[in-house]
Chain A
Amino acid sequence: MESKNKVLVGLFVGGCLVLFGVGLFLIGSANQLFTKSFHVYADFAKITGIQNGSKVRVAGMDAGTVIRIDVPPRPETKFRVHFRLAEKLHPIVRADSMASIQTDGLLGNKYLQVAAGTSDAPVAAADSMIPSTEPFDWGDLMDEISSAVKQVNGVLTAVKEQLSSTLTEVENVVRSVNVVVKDATPAVKGIVESAHKITGSLNEIIDGVQAGEGTMGALFKDKELYASVRRSAEKTEQTIENVREATASVKKITAKVDESDIVPEVQRTVANLQRITLQVKDAVDKFQSASGEGGVGENLQRTLADAHEAMSDLADNTEALKHNFFFRGFFKRRGFYDLGSITTREYLSKGFAKGFKQHRIWLESAELFSLDSKGIQVLSPAGKRRLDEVIAEVMTLPRNGPLIVEGFAGEGTDAQRYLVSRRRSSRVQTYIIDRFRLRPTYVGIVARGAEPVAPGSAVNKEGIAIVSYYKE
């Protein structure tokens, strides 16, 4: 009786224990417990739910489990995640294999992903550290972005305010000029009046004022006016610094992959600012040439040129954002063209503006630019007139494609050629956008650097080409 019971109990207990063991074995082998393995570790500031026993995959293949997590003793220290990897995968786990925390499909389990390394790097040693990337945390990124964007917005608002106050100053100057001019000689009055007739714009007024040198000189002797313009310039300078900082932030954001509604906002603000600085710059250009010798005008102009450049950086970075995987669709939907940052290679590829007709106008550098007192190439009045003519001609074509300003420069190093050609096209771009109220997103620049005038020629092209793409 008892011996029979022993057999039955043995059968029952043994059978069930074997089944239990089968379960243990299956789980163990799914966790790579029974394969030869080696240990490595990686540091994370945040482990987002990884725990002992979490799966580890090498290039997507189940490779082991997390065996221990050292909790940092101080907030600044990171969590150290120790894990086991199957020995057979050791050859592809290199010292530069990147560990990251990922989420598994349906059940949403967290697991550790280890990327295969590069063959240049040595095989990851046992018990060594491999590099890691912090888990992507949507919330954190949003925080970072919105604070950066807030900063940008704050800076930009400040710039705008200060620039507009600068503008007001300038306007005031012009108004005083007008008053002065009215009381001046009838000849001057006539010029001013004719200028008024040509256009009501601020620039033309100032153009007209250029004639009365004596009056301008008197104007700049006004100490109070001088001081106020000076103050504006300083403020602007300080603001530019801020813009630079903001630009750095934007760069950082762009490096990451994310989305925010504020991005187009930033871009709009940048565009506005660009226009404002351009206008201010133009106005100051006039003063510059009016006052002759280097003084307030030049000072202000340089500041504003810097401002414009800084702003372009910001614009570039914002532009980069548009190319970002996440935003591309977003910007496309809103009709943004990528002309702002089209690369020369892209531009010259067959794919660009396929199906469009091309109207090309060549302009020699000498026709357009003159050197200012500092030796910087600026658009000469004659150049501007020439551009006006050219654009007037372009405007007769249908405006349903991009307008590209190609820049060419043949002297100096490659970098200099590139920069000069870029500056030339950029100067023209800003002028025509402003002058003809073109949509900035439809006018692109391409710095083409050096190119021989004819195939095989030793002489390089110097100048710009305005290329209008259109469809009949």
Chain B
Amino acid sequence: MPHSIASNPQPWLSRFLLGVEESLGWFGGFCQFAGLIIRESIRRPFEFGELLRQVVAVGYRSVPLIVLSGLAVGSVLSMHTRSTLERFGAEAMIPTALAFALVKETGPLVTGLLMAGRVGAGIGAELGGMRVTEQIDALESLAVNSVHYLVVTRVWACVIAAPLLTVLMNFSGLAGGFLAEVIVSGTSFTYYLHTAFSSLAFADYIPPTLKTMVFGFIIGTMSTYLGYNASGGAEGVGRASTQSVVYSSIGLIVVNVLLVKFIFFLYPGGGA
């Protein structure tokens, strides 16, 4: 097949078509892999110990990063919101506006991107390293289904950790916003929290938080796919790692657009 395309008289066209074919092949492989993950997810016995280990690695160890980023994002957002709302004399709306921004979009997306960076790179490098040093083969030789043991656990760890980290990001963001605000207006934290959530509906809070499970799935699947199929020694491992970050981030941003549309379709106006 590539042969017939390569024989095209137009070299740039054939190169382009080859590129398209390669990308499609890559994407096909990815989808197959995602399907395999889903199939292996429901097969018993569950690798519970490994899952715990991965939730610690993916979730627990991301807590400092998420909390610090949340504080920073929240305080910066709050300051920007203040400068805008001040003009209308609507400073009282700051917690509400911040909560809207954080809970509905910023929190999930920033969490997803941070996870893509920290977790995606980690998984890509770890599995890539295991692949090129034959550790995955060794695992298989010991009668362990490597997809079931290594991949499924990591993907689920991402799926579990993503919404939890998002919640953490949202609250850290609100805490950051509160810190930025308390300096200026000396408001109380409970009042701040109450105002922040007062204008939110469950439809503003639950779907955007849960949608990050899809982010987690994309990050997990993408980075395990790239790591699991790494080749080419240390260089290949590095490539798998960086590509994990890049592709997960892109995938996440694209899927976010679809998810926002989808959530809006399910809860029209829930996104006032």
Contacts and interface: CB of A to CB of B under 8 A. Distances in A.
Main secondary structure of the interface of A (DSSP, over half): helix
A17 B270 CA distance: 23
B70 to A, nearest CB: 11
A26 interface: yes
A19 B198 CA distance: 16
Nearest to A23: B205
Nearest to A5: B52
Interface in B198-224: 198-203, 205-206, 209
A51 B55 contact: no
A2 B56 CA distance: 11
Interface in B14-67: 49, 52-53, 55-56, 59-60, 63
Main secondary structure of the interface of B (DSSP, over half): helix
Interface stretch (A7-15, A125-133, A289-297, A370-378): A7-15
Contacts of B88: 106
A24 B198 contact: no
B171 interface: yes
A9 B59 CA distance: 8
A16 interface: yes
Contacts of A30: 194, 197-200
Contacts of A22: 171, 193
Interface in B72-93: 88, 90, 93
Nearest to A6: B52
Nearest to B196: A26
B132 interface: no
B2 interface: no
Given A11-B60, A30-B194, A53 B202 contact: yes
B115 interface: no
Given A13-B55, A23-B170, A30-B194, A53 B201 contact: yes
Contacts of B170: 19, 23
B130 interface: no
A12 B60 contact: yes
Contacts of B9: none
Contact of B269 (A27, A28, A49): A49
A53 B59 contact: no
A15 to B, nearest CB: 8
Interface in B238-272: 268-270, 272
Contact of A51 (B53, B103, B167, B269): B269
Interface of B: 49, 52-53, 55-56, 59-60, 63, 88, 90, 93, 96, 103, 160-161, 163-165, 167-168, 170-171, 193-194, 196-203, 205-206, 209, 268-270, 272
18 contacts: A5-B52, A8-B60, A9-B56, A12-B63, A16-B168, A23-B197, A24-B202, A24-B205, A27-B197, A27-B201, A30-B199, A31-B201, A51-B268, A53-B202, A53-B270, A106-B90, A108-B272, A109-B199
Given A19-B168, A30-B198, 20 more contacts: A6-B52, A8-B56, A8-B60, A9-B56, A19-B170, A20-B163, A20-B164, A23-B103, A23-B167, A23-B171, A23-B197, A24-B202, A24-B205, A26-B193, A27-B197, A31-B202, A53-B203, A107-B199, A107-B272, A109-B199
